[in-house]
Amino acid sequence: MLNLTDVLIDWSGFEDFVRDLYLAEGQVIVERHVTLKGKSGANREIDVLVTHRTRFHTYITVIECKYWKSPVSRDIIDVLYATLEDINASKGVLFTSKGYERGAVEYAKAKNIDLFIVRDLTEEEWGLPGRVVEFYMHFWYGKMTNLRFHDSKLIPVVRNYPTDLQLAIQISKDNQMADDLYLYSVEDGRRGPHLLEVLFDYRLWVLKKLAGSVGLLQDGRDGAVLTLLTDVFLDFSRYEFRQLRFPYGVVDFNGIECKQVSQVLQTHFRFDRGASLDLALIVEDYLTRKRHLVYKQKGKKQLDVTELSHDKNCKEEDLTDVLQNGTILQVFTAPYVDFDLPAGGQIGTTSPLRFSVSKCT
């Protein structure tokens, strides 16, 4: 885990963390557990001392670290300020894990002392939907089988024509645009859509209707499969384009019945954004609310620090499209993607579905 109480186990670990923060700056000398004698003759114990030397000046920053279970009080700020005055330090800084009392904050402002809080990342700071991104994919497959024309009749245009009309079509990628599967108008003979285009539209509608009623499979098990059998009837009786043309004549029909085999394959995705990290914390300026993300990659010793910006333009309604953990995402495959009925998979039967084909696709 990367929680504050796990990565910074005690006050010693907290001081090491603050020391390493300043070491990451470079160009400075950072010392821990330093004792300096002040102008008053008193020994001043300092948790972390940062010294920055330039060609002409030396800047000293005194840092106090309070890994406490309660907010820091004003008297702690008072002691820190006394240390600054006694050793002629340039700056005073205080780090804590639990915040500050109101009096401490006002006093620190007056004495120009910086206050920081070290805390865990919020879910928003990890990046929504949070540190752990977890969702499910439902891949939907479907094929129409045993297609049969309903209430069909042949209007012959030659003397020798089939007397036993067996109208059945095979859906495959090879005959997706076969000329004899275009539909023609019963009103004026215009060529309309391809029959397979119509069938594919309703195949997808069946899948979407089933998807709306299928939730998580087998308590979210990765690789779970469910197969559903549905009797489907497409009523063409009110549809203008309900004729097929063959060399021997015109076939007029009022409907198509079939059995649709639909299958859903469930895939579980889980990604932990902190899996590659040994440490990830927020260092927040308690007065200005400026935030820095501090993290350390596994196998590395040095901390990485990056400033987090406040997106003032982000509105609550902008978050409505953010993926929610546990969401099921639906993916509908192309009509020609074949699939097998798995051994031992769940197979169910749904209520029959009837559609009235009423407009050109």
Residue 283 lies in a domain: no
Do residues 266 and 204 both lie within one domain? yes
* Gap between the Cα atoms of 272 and 198, Å rounded: 44
Do residues 83 and 143 both lie within one domain? no
DSSP state, 274? Answer: T
Asked if 24 and 303 touch (Cβ cutoff 8 Å), the reply is yes
Residue 314 lies in a domain: no
Asked if 92 and 61 touch (Cβ cutoff 8 Å), the reply is yes
Residue 317 has pLDDT above 70, yes or no: no
Quote the pLDDT of residue 217: 94
Do residues 114 and 224 both lie within one domain? no
* 168-182, 292-306, 310-324 — most confident range: 292-306
Structure tokens at 292: 């820095």
Residue 40 has pLDDT above 80, yes or no: yes
Residue 303 lies in a domain: no
Confidence of residue 75 (pLDDT cuts 50, 70, 90): very high
Asked if 69 and 91 touch (Cβ cutoff 8 Å), the reply is no
| Average pLDDT rounded to a whole number, residues 330-358 | 88
pLDDT tens per residue across span 82-121: 999 999 999 999 999 999 999 999 999 999 999 999 999 9
Do residues 186 and 237 both lie within one domain? yes
Quote the pLDDT of residue 283: 97
Do residues 95 and 20 both lie within one domain? yes
pLDDT tens per residue across span 207-232: 999 999 999 999 999 999 999 999 99
φ, ψ of residue 314 to 5 degrees: the values are -75, 125
Residue 11 lies in a domain: yes
* Gap between the Cα atoms of 334 and 337, Å rounded: 6
| Average pLDDT rounded to a whole number, residues 325-347 | 86
Residue 168 has pLDDT above 70, yes or no: no
Do residues 93 and 207 both lie within one domain? no
Domain span at residue 57 reads 4-120
Quote the pLDDT of residue 341: 81
Q: How many domains, the chain?
A: 2
Single residue among 61, 86, 120 that ends a domain in this structure: 120
Do residues 47 and 172 both lie within one domain? no
| Rounded (10°) angle between helices 74-87 and 102-110 | 20
Confidence of residue 319 (pLDDT cuts 50, 70, 90): low
Residue 316 lies in a domain: no
Length of the chain counted residue by residue: 361
Q: How many CB atoms sit inside 10 A of residue 237's CB?
A: 13
Residue 331 has pLDDT above 50, yes or no: yes
The CATH number of residue 30's host domain is 3.40.1350.10
Residue 183 lies in a domain: yes
Quote the pLDDT of residue 361: 45
Give the mean pLDDT of the chain: 90
Do residues 100 and 33 both lie within one domain? yes
Residue 15 lies in a domain: yes
Taking Cα atoms as reference points, which of 91, 93, 71 lies closest to residue 19? 93
Confidence of residue 173 (pLDDT cuts 50, 70, 90): low
Alpha helices (runs of H) in the chain, residue ranges in sequence order: 4-7, 11-23, 74-87, 102-110, 123-126, 195-211
Of the chain, the percentage scoring pLDDT greater than 70 comes to 91
The residue assigned the tokens 């010693």 is: 12
Asked if 294 and 305 touch (Cβ cutoff 8 Å), the reply is yes
Single residue among 70, 88, 120 that ends a domain in this structure: 120
| Average pLDDT rounded to a whole number, residues 56-66 | 95
pLDDT tens per residue across span 11-36: 889 999 999 999 988 889 999 999 99
Can you give the pTM of this predicted structure? 0.79
Residue 281 lies in a domain: no
Do residues 113 and 145 both lie within one domain? no
CA atoms within 13 A on the CB side of 10: 1
* Gap between the Cα atoms of 191 and 180, Å rounded: 11
| Average pLDDT rounded to a whole number, residues 279-285 | 96
SS3 content of the chain, % helix, strand, coil (to 5): 20, 40, 40
Residue 293 has pLDDT above 70, yes or no: yes
Do residues 221 and 149 both lie within one domain? yes
Cα–Cα–Cα angle for 346, 326, 216, rounded to 5 degrees? 15
Confidence of residue 189 (pLDDT cuts 50, 70, 90): very high
pLDDT tens per residue across span 232-277: 999 999 999 999 999 999 999 999 999 999 999 999 999 999 999 9
Residue 175 has pLDDT above 70, yes or no: no
Do residues 185 and 53 both lie within one domain? no
Hey, what amino acid is at 359? Answer: K
Do residues 113 and 214 both lie within one domain? no
Q: How many CB atoms sit inside 10 A of residue 298's CB?
A: 9
* C-alpha dihedral (155, 177, 203, 232), degrees to nearest 10: 20
